[in-house]
Amino acid sequence: MKNLLIILSGTFISLMGHADIIRCGFTEPFVTSEYSTTTSVLTYVEDITGTKHSIRNVQFQIRGPGKFELIKKTGEVLQVLELNYQGSDGMSDFQYPYSVIDKSRVAGKLNQGGCTSNFFQEKDSDEE
């Protein structure tokens, strides 16, 4: 399993030459986030109100095999992502390639969820 994560991380790094969008979903509260590797902008949308909050100059840092962080220019860690195919949005039957912990507290609290990217999509948990 560890070797698989190393390979996936290497694949992800090689694909980073292309633009990528990482989309995350969270419940309680219902919030989505979207990070663009091209613009370095992390945008949060409160699903119920549609209120948007964008943070510019967010760095994508590789912390180890399959481990990534989105970091504000002040050094504050906003999100911790792990490419482990164990992510969950808390509501659907989908299994997300990334599990995420959102530390930004944009939604008012520490939040866990699941993420996809252009290169890694969710799977129905009934599929194997």
pLDDT at 100 exceeding the cut of 90: yes
pLDDT bucket at 4, cuts 50 / 70 / 90: very low
What is the rounded average pLDDT of the residues 73-86?
95
The average confidence (pLDDT) of the chain is: 84
For residue 23, pLDDT beyond 70: yes
| The two structure tokens encoding residue 116 | 């996809």
Phi, psi at residue 27, to the nearest 5°?
A: -125, 155
Q: 38-77, pLDDT tens digit by residue?
A: 999 999 998 889 999 999 999 999 999 999 999 999 999 9
Tell me how far CA of residue 122 lies from CA of 26, 44, 51, 70, 107, in angstroms: 14, 20, 25, 20, 23
Q: How confident is the model at residue 15 (pLDDT cuts 50, 70, 90)?
A: very low
